[in-house]
Amino acid sequence: MSDQDALAQALAVAEAQAAEAEAELRAAPASAGRGHAPGAADALVSITAYPNGPLLVRGPFEILTPDGTVIPPGRKTVALCRCGVSTLKPFCDGSHKAVRFRTEAEPPDNAPPALD
- Residue percentage of the chain with pLDDT more than 70: 56
State residue 17's pLDDT score: 66
State residue 102's pLDDT score: 93
pLDDT exceeds 70 at position 57: yes
Displacement of CA 55 from its chain's centroid (Å): 2
pLDDT tens digits, one per residue of 22-34: 665 555 554 444 4
pLDDT exceeds 50 at position 94: yes
> What does the DSSP assignment read for 13-53?
HHHHHHHHHHHHHHHS-TTTTEEEPTT-TT-EEEEEE-TTS
* Nearest residue to 18 (alpha-carbon basis) of 71, 91, 102, 95: 91
